[in-house]
Amino acid sequence: MPRSMWRGVIGLGLVSIAVRLFVATESHPLSFRQLCPEHVSPVRNRRWCSAGQHEVPYADVVRGYEVSADNYVLIEDSDLESLRQPSPRTIAVSAFVPHDAITSGLFFKSAYYVVPETVARRAYRLLARTLVETRMIAIATIAFRDRAHLCCLHAVGDLLLLNTLHWPDEIRPPERLRDQGSIPIKPRELLMAKSLVQNLAIESFNPLRYRDEYREALMQAVNAKIEGAQVLRAPRVDVAPVMDLMDALVASVKAARRERAARQSAARQARRRT
Report strand pairing: 6-12 vs 90-98. Answer: parallel
Distance CA 253, CA 259 (A): 10
Q: Give the domains, in start order, of the chain with CATH numbers.
A: 6-24+83-170 (2.40.290.10), 187-273 (no CATH)
Name the phi and psi angles at 205, rounded to 5: -80, 120
Residue count of the chain, please give it: 274
pLDDT recorded at residue 239: 53
Write down the pLDDT at residue 134.
Answer: 95
* Residue-level pLDDT at 22: 94
pLDDT of residue 240: 56
The residue type at 237: V
The reported pLDDT for the residue numbered 110 is 92
pLDDT tens for each residue of 99-157: 889 887 889 999 999 999 999 999 999 999 999 999 999 999 998 877 889 999 999 98
CA-to-CA distance for 194 and 249, rounded, in angstroms? 10
* Residue 1 pLDDT: 62
Distance CA 180, CA 176 (A): 9
- Which of 145, 150, 154, 147 lies closest to 170 in space, CA to CA? 150
Mean pLDDT over residues 164-178, rounded? Answer: 85
| 214-246 pLDDT per residue, tens | 788 888 888 887 887 666 666 665 555 666 778
Query: What single DSSP character describes residue 274?
Result: -
Query: Bridge-partner residues for 163, per DSSP?
Result: 111, 152
Per-residue pLDDT tens digits for 21-80: 999 988 887 788 888 888 889 988 889 998 899 999 989 999 998 988 889 998 887 777
Q: Is the pLDDT of residue 203 over 90?
A: no
Asked if residues 135 and 156 have their Cβ atoms less than 8 Å apart, the reply is no
Give 33-49 pLDDT, tens digit per residue. 888 888 889 988 889 99
pLDDT of residue 90: 92
pLDDT for position 163: 95
Find the range with the poorest average confidence among 28-37, 158-167, 177-186: 177-186
**Residue 253: pLDDT band by 50, 70, 90 thresholds?**
confident
pLDDT of residue 241: 64
Distance between CA atoms of residues 143 and 188, nearest Å? 52
